[in-house]
């Protein structure tokens, strides 16, 4: 647990802001004066640099037309590779092992189509019962394509308490009939960080390929995918990386798999110097670029250039340290100010096991979330009873966190939520 001397006062919150080494990045983002944004783990805010690089690409289109592919501020033909190089330090990989392409679910389909190779008795895929539904839909689909029944061939590790997963339970499920493992880096509801290093080591011992969904961790916590020996990973870039709604996703493939033919082939997976030969035999890129499928979505890639410049300056280790500290401060305030109001903190308390948001549980979570919005606080609701609050290291302040808890206290004391119908958020 982060160690510091906690005080519940506004003056203390302002003191923490004065001592915050990342506070100057707050001015890089568009923040509304009458609103406190606590939903950066669902959609990050727009930065001025992301806006700038987007407009530069629009200007390239306006001024250069088709020549924007190879000329201009950010040549489009190489944009995915350039962004892969910029993103690689955030996931602990070499630039050749990362490409910015597709979307989370498209990239999962690509990676499973490539690396799921049922053989003999090894025919099953191992996942978990708490993962985001889209991953399950994709895995079920991939099994059906191969004429396997998802009810028998998709194994989902059970949670003991409905919040967390135990690594021991996951390892026990790594049996001789498992061909592939797909797990989240961070659970989207509770914010639990899985021990990726240990799980990868155990999978490797058993000769099972393992991949991770990094949607709720990339940009929030450091990774060492290459160092841990992770086979592949995929993630979105619109949450902690502030790439914008619908932003192009990212994927990582360990270099030991370079040369594997992509399961879902497309011409942008070609080796760059062969792409325009127009041959009917694909010559795949010798890097993670091989797993691209179609033409890159340039105007959804461009904001990431500016956003990742900020991450390079701030440093992911510094981002993680502030994230841990400001979330600990939020939890301390909750426990001090909201005692006896039937709230439960449903995320792990140990630093090593918690991600970038606080998972606050309450039976009236839906109506409380709506009340928060009416009071100028933007939270995130997850049915049936979770309020996710995500102070973001680059643009959230300690004073804002203090005000969020004061708003919660006011909502509960005045029973404001009782006046509202349960919303669909």
For residues 373-397, give the mean pLDDT. 98
Give me the DSSP letters along 321-354: HHHHHHHHHHHHHHHHHSTTS--EE-S--SGGGB
Residue-level pLDDT at 422: 63
Give tens-digit pLDDT for 86-130. Answer: 999 999 999 999 999 999 999 999 999 999 999 999 999 999 999
Question: Any known ligand binding at 135?
Answer: yes
Question: Any known ligand binding at 128?
Answer: no
Give tens-digit pLDDT for 5-43. Answer: 999 999 999 999 999 999 999 999 999 999 999 999 999
Q: Give the DSSP H/E element, type plus range, for residue 141.
A: helix 133-145
**Rounded-to-integer distance, Cα 192 and Cα 164, Å:** 7
**Inter-residue contact 106 to 135 (CB < 8 Å):** no
Is the pLDDT at 421 greater than 90? The verdict is: no
**% the chain with pLDDT above 70:** 99
- Chain centroid, CA 323 distance in Å: 14
**Rounded-to-integer distance, Cα 215 and Cα 134, Å:** 12
For residues 374-395, give the mean pLDDT. 98
- Burial state string for 337-373 with b = 16 or more CB within 10 A and e = fewer than 16: bbeeeebebbbbeebebbbbbbbbbbebbbbbbbbbe
Which domains are assigned to the chain?
10-30+315-413 (3.90.1150.10), 51-313 (3.40.640.10)
Question: Any known ligand binding at 216?
Answer: yes
For residues 252-272, give the mean pLDDT. 96
Question: Any known ligand binding at 105?
Answer: yes
Compute CA distances 168 → 131, 153, 211, 238, 395, whole Å. Answer: 17, 21, 18, 32, 37
Question: Any known ligand binding at 185?
Answer: no
Give tens-digit pLDDT for 152-167. Answer: 999 999 999 999 999 9
Question: Any known ligand binding at 78?
Answer: no
For residues 221-248, give the mean pLDDT. 98
Contacts of 174 (CB under 8 A, 6+ apart): 126, 181, 202, 203, 206, 208
Give tens-digit pLDDT for 302-353. Answer: 999 999 999 999 999 999 999 999 999 999 999 999 999 999 999 999 999 9
Is the pLDDT at 234 greater than 80? The verdict is: yes
pTM for this entry: 0.96
Alpha carbon dihedral 261, 262, 267, 271, in 10-degree steps, equals: -50
Question: Any known ligand binding at 213?
Answer: yes
Question: Any known ligand binding at 104?
Answer: yes
Is the pLDDT at 186 greater than 90? The verdict is: yes
Q: Mean pLDDT score of the chain, rounded to an integer?
A: 97
pLDDT band at 424 (very low <50, low <70, confident <90, very high): low
Residue-level pLDDT at 11: 98
Residue-level pLDDT at 419: 92
**Rounded-to-integer distance, Cα 141 and Cα 199, Å:** 25
pLDDT band at 1 (very low <50, low <70, confident <90, very high): low
Residue 8 DSSP label: -
**Inter-residue contact 17 to 399 (CB < 8 Å):** yes
Question: Any known ligand binding at 238?
Answer: yes
Residue-level pLDDT at 423: 57
């Amino acid at each position: 647990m982060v160690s510091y001397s906690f005080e519940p006062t506004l003056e203390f919150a302002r003191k923490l802001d004065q001592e915050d080494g990342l506070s100057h990045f707050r001015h890089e983002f568009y923040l509304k004066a009458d609103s406190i944004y606590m939903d950066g783990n669902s959609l990050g805010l727009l930065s001025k640099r992301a806006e700038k690089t987007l407009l530069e690409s629009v200007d390239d289109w306006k001024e250069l037309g088709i020549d924007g592919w190879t000329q201009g501020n950010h040549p489009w033909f190489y944009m995915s590779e350039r962004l892969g190089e910029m993103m690689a330090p955030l996931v602990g990989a070499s630039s050749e092992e990362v490409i910015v392409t597709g979307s989370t679910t498209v990239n999962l389909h690509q990676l499973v189509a490539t690396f799921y190779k049922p053989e003999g008795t090894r025919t099953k895929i191992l996942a978990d019962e708490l993962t985001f539904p889209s991953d399950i839909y994709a895995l079920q689909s991939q099994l059906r394509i191969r004429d396997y029944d998802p009810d028998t061939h998709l194994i989902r590790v059970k949670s003991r308490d409905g919040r967390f997963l135990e690594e021991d339970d996951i390892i026990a499920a790594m049996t001789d009939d498992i061909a592939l493992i797909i797990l989240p880096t961070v659970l989207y509801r509770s914010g639990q960080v899985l021990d990726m290093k240990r799980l990868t080591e155990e999978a490797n011992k058993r000769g099972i390929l393992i991949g991770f969904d990094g949607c709720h961790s990339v940009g929030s916590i450091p990774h060492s995918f290459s160092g841990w020996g992770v086979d592949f990973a995929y993630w979105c870039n619109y949450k902690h990386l502030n790439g914008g709604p619908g932003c192009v996703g990212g994927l990582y493939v360990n270099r030991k798999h370079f040369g594997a033919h992509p399961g879902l082939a497309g011409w942008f997976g070609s080796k760059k110097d062969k792409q325009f030969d127009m041959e009917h035999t694909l010559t795949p890129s010798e890097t993670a670029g091989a797993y691209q499928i179609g033409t890159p979505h340039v105007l959804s890639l461009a904001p990431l250039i500016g956003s990742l410049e900020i991450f390079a300056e701030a440093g992911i280790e510094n981002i993680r340290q502030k994230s841990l500290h400001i979330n600990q401060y939020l939890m301390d305030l909750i426990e001090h100010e909201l005692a006896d109001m039937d709230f439960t903190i449903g995320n792990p308390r140990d630093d090593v096991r918690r991600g970038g948001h606080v998972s606050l549980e309450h039976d009236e979570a839906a109506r409380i979330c709506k009340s928060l919005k009416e009071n100028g606080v933007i939270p995130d609701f997850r049915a049936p009873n979770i309020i996710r609050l995500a102070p973001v290291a680059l643009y959230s302040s300690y004073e804002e966190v203090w005000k969020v808890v004061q708003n919660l206290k006011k909502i509960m004391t005045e029973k404001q939520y009782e006046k509202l119908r349960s919303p669909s958020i």
